[in-house]
Chains A and B, each alone.
Chain A
Amino acid sequence: GQQLNQSPQSMFIQEGEDVSMNCTSSSIFNTWLWYKQDPGEGPVLLIALYKAGELTSNGRLTAQFGITRKDSFLNISASIPSDVGIYFCAGRQLNAGGTSYGKLTFGQGTILTVHP
């Protein structure tokens, strides 16, 4: 199946630093989503992107839908200890009939560690 390449795999940063991570694919996606997963819990939606070039913010988080529709990035500004977790990108493609039934392809995740 389709794969998303998410990088970096892990990051160790100091509190207050900015963070950037991205996802790339050889295929076009129609929707990009960013999720965060805390230990022992399910992924929680952070930002959803629906149009190429779209730039959307959610507090200290900003995500962009790449112009080529093959990539997306997530930035976290002024990181705090509670930002620790695994961040996943996910993309959705439409099938030949113009539907997707909501199916997502996930990246491998970026493990973020924030040192106080």
Chain B
Amino acid sequence: NAGVTQTPKFQVLKTGQSMTLQCAQDMNHNSMYWYRQDPGMGLRLIYYSASEGTTDKGEVPNGYNVSRLNKREFSLRLESAAPSQTSVYFCASSGGNNQPQHFGDGTRLSIL
């Protein structure tokens, strides 16, 4: 029972490099989300996808792009990584408008 799977678990990048974080869910959920978690700031929404074929900006979208590849997969791309994007990134999914979100185990990203 995998739930939400994120890859990679860890990554170190140099400033200016690009990177795609992958997320897949096997719960047949319609909605998917990308968050970043920084110390003392809880989780902040970067982008979300309410349903397959749609994506929208969250609270902190600058410097990121997303692709809802199909119902299962939602990827997050950093085109030109910056040290301020060093963070732990979480993907989540939910079954509908008022359903709880279920989270993956995160990707720990360091940008030097």
Contacts and interface: CB of A to CB of B under 8 A. Distances in A.
B33 A42 contact: no
Most chain A CB within 10 A, of B44, B48, B98, B104, is at B98
Bin chain B's interface residue count: 20 to 34
Interface of A: 1, 4, 6, 9, 30-31, 33, 35, 40-45, 48, 50, 88, 90, 92, 99-104, 106-109
A-B CB proximity, top 10 nearest = A42-B103, A106-B42, A101-B50, A102-B94, A106-B43, A102-B31, A108-B42, A42-B105, A1-B59, A43-B103
Contacts of A35: 103
Contacts of A6: 42
A101 B31 contact: yes
Contacts of B70: none
Interface of B: 4, 31, 33, 40-45, 48, 50, 56, 58-59, 90, 92, 94, 96-106
B42 A103 contact: no
Which applies to chain A's interface (DSSP): helix, strand, loop or mixed? loop
A48 B100 contact: yes
B97 A108 contact: no
A109 B38 CA distance: 11
B42 A42 contact: no
